[in-house]
Chain A
Amino acid sequence: MSQSTEIMSDGVMSTGEGTRIFPDVEACIDCGGCVVACKRTWDVPRDEQRISIATMLEGQEAAAGLGKSEAIQQRESPGETSIPMQCYHCENAPCVSVCPTDSLIKTDDEFVNVRDDLCIGCQYCLSACPFGAPQFPEHDDDVASTTLGTGGTMDKCTMCEERQDVGKGPACAEECATDAILVGTPGEIGDELDKRGSGSFFNETAMEIVFGDDAGDLV
């Protein structure tokens, strides 16, 4: 029996060094469970977020016969689609490249980490990130903040590194009722998306940023 190939795996397939976090847009139902799990775990205030679900084409039907990933690659309408957006801890992280104080680093586990005591709030990372991950909770809209770029300390998804240290997956992925947030090596994520008949919703450029040389396995 080759039954195992038929079954969806849990969202969290493996944790620790070299793992990545990635959304399955076919599975996400926009319930907000990941948002709540993240806020509850890290005491993130209600009006701030480290993960947020973006819903596009609300109430629209998809082009007939196409999956979301196929549709977007063929420039057809994917229909209503929800994507959990967060820091994807990119292989070629643009935020790390532009950070003038090296506050942003790739850790030994290959997660992207912001070192709070070095961040000067310049918000370069906000401009560099293709996914809108960097948040500036202390940012004011006053003239000084805007012109001088003093946004306070940047805040973003930590990949729940402390949870991973004790063998748990990120809170968002563990909570997800439909296993729409995949955590694992790039190979595991690619295999799982294949198995589900799903795929990436991002373009090639974005995929190369997230997965580097492994991007080919996922598209």
Chain B
Amino acid sequence: TQAAVDQGMDVIMTTGRQVEHQGGGAETRSNIYTADLQPHMYAEMTPNMAEDLGVEGGDLVVVSTTDRGSVLVKARVTDRPADQEVFLPYHWGGIFQGESLVDKYPDGTVPYAIGDSVNSITSRGYDVETQMQETKVAMVKVQRATPELLDELNMDPDIEFPQDRDNIGTQKSFDVRTNTTTQ
């Protein structure tokens, strides 16, 4: 852990579920109703962290680990986490570490909503008895997705989200500071 802190990993990332989605999300992101209710992959952070990073809810941020790469996700600003923690849901696919995989889907099978996969950056540890992998937590660094950073990480600066193109889930609020009641 000290080694991770030395590399600037100063945030605890936990991952988990969203009530609207199931498993890897292949089904619920391909269903127009559930995709509409929960349209984006995000990193949930407090207003304090968002202010430090200089991002608004809905802006793209990069979440990086020591040696397992980085994911490109939207910022979701709420009061739920602690200031030194981010929460990322794990139901997402279709983008892999900042690069869209839309071209690789057979025709007509691209989900309504795609997002980066957080399980690609969680800890490499696993349980020696059961071989169950540790996909729950990691020490991470969260940064605003600047063009320079995306270029450095070989991420696509013009990444297209089909859900944004098709106006899916536009009612969803990503910043608690601009909305008191959400749907």
Q: Give the B-binding residues of A (Cβ under 8 A).
A: 29-32, 35-36, 39-40, 46-47, 52-60
Q: Are A58 and B37 in contact (CB under 8 A)?
A: no
Q: How far is the CB of A185 from chain B (nearest CB, A)?
A: 30
Decide yes or no whether B182 CB sits under 8 A from chain A: yes
The residue in chain A whose Cβ has the minimal distance to the Cβ of B80 is A59
Query: With A29-B19, A58-B176, A59-B79 as given contacts, are A36 and B183 in contact (CB-CB < 8 Å)?
Result: no
Complex alpha-carbon distance, A121 and B181, angstroms: 27
Complex alpha-carbon distance, A39 and B37, angstroms: 12
Decide yes or no whether B168 CB sits under 8 A from chain A: yes
Decide yes or no whether B36 CB sits under 8 A from chain A: yes
**B1-40 vs A: 1/0 string, CB under 8 Å?**
0000000000000000001100000000001111011100
**B157-183 vs A: 1/0 string, CB under 8 Å?**
000000000011000010010011111
Q: Are A58 and B33 in contact (CB under 8 A)?
A: no
Complex alpha-carbon distance, A32 and B34, angstroms: 8
Decide yes or no whether B120 CB sits under 8 A from chain A: no
Residues on A with C-beta less than 8 A from B20 are 31-32
Query: With A30-B19, A60-B79 as given contacts, are A55 and B33 in contact (CB-CB < 8 Å)?
Result: no
Residues on B with C-beta less than 8 A from A46 are 32-33, 36, 168
- 27 pairs, CB–CB < 8 Å, chain A vs chain B: A29-B19, A31-B19, A35-B33, A36-B31, A36-B33, A36-B34, A36-B37, A39-B33, A40-B33, A46-B33, A46-B168, A47-B36, A52-B183, A54-B182, A55-B181, A55-B182, A56-B180, A56-B181, A57-B180, A58-B79, A58-B80, A58-B176, A58-B180, A59-B79, A59-B80, A59-B176, A60-B79
Q: Are A54 and B33 in contact (CB under 8 A)?
A: no
Q: Give the A-binding residues of B (Cβ under 8 A).
A: 19-20, 31-34, 36-38, 78-80, 167-168, 173, 176, 179-183
Q: Are A55 and B80 in contact (CB under 8 A)?
A: no
Residues on A with C-beta less than 8 A from B183 are 52-55
Q: How far is the CB of B45 from chain A (nearest CB, A)?
A: 11
Residues on B with C-beta less than 8 A from A29 are 19
Complex alpha-carbon distance, A39 and B38, angstroms: 16
Residues on B with C-beta less than 8 A from A60 are 79
Complex alpha-carbon distance, A29 and B37, angstroms: 13
Residues on B with C-beta less than 8 A from A35 are 33, 37
Most chain A CB within a 10 A radius of its CB, from B31, B36, B168:
B36
Residues on B with C-beta less than 8 A from A58 are 78-80, 173, 176, 179-180, 182
Complex alpha-carbon distance, A54 and B32, angstroms: 20
Most chain B CB within a 10 A radius of its CB, from A31, A32, A56, A60:
A32
Residues on A with C-beta less than 8 A from B34 are 32, 36
Complex alpha-carbon distance, A47 and B169, angstroms: 8
Taking A31-B20, A32-B19, A59-B79 as known contacts, 19 extra A-B pairs with beta carbons closer than 8 A to each other, sorted by chain A number, are: A30-B19, A31-B19, A32-B20, A32-B33, A32-B34, A35-B33, A36-B37, A39-B33, A40-B33, A46-B32, A47-B36, A52-B183, A53-B183, A54-B182, A54-B183, A56-B180, A58-B78, A58-B182, A59-B78
Residues on B with C-beta less than 8 A from A30 are 19
Complex alpha-carbon distance, A57 and B179, angstroms: 9
Q: How far is the CB of A45 from chain B (nearest CB, A)?
A: 9
Residues on B with C-beta less than 8 A from A39 are 33
The residue in chain A whose Cβ has the minimal distance to the Cβ of B46 is A59
The residue in chain A whose Cβ has the minimal distance to the Cβ of B181 is A56
The residue in chain B whose Cβ has the minimal distance to the Cβ of A52 is B183
Residues on B with C-beta less than 8 A from A36 are 31, 33-34, 37
Residues on B with C-beta less than 8 A from A57 are 180
The residue in chain A whose Cβ has the minimal distance to the Cβ of B182 is A55
Complex alpha-carbon distance, A47 and B36, angstroms: 8
Residues on A with C-beta less than 8 A from B37 are 32, 35-36
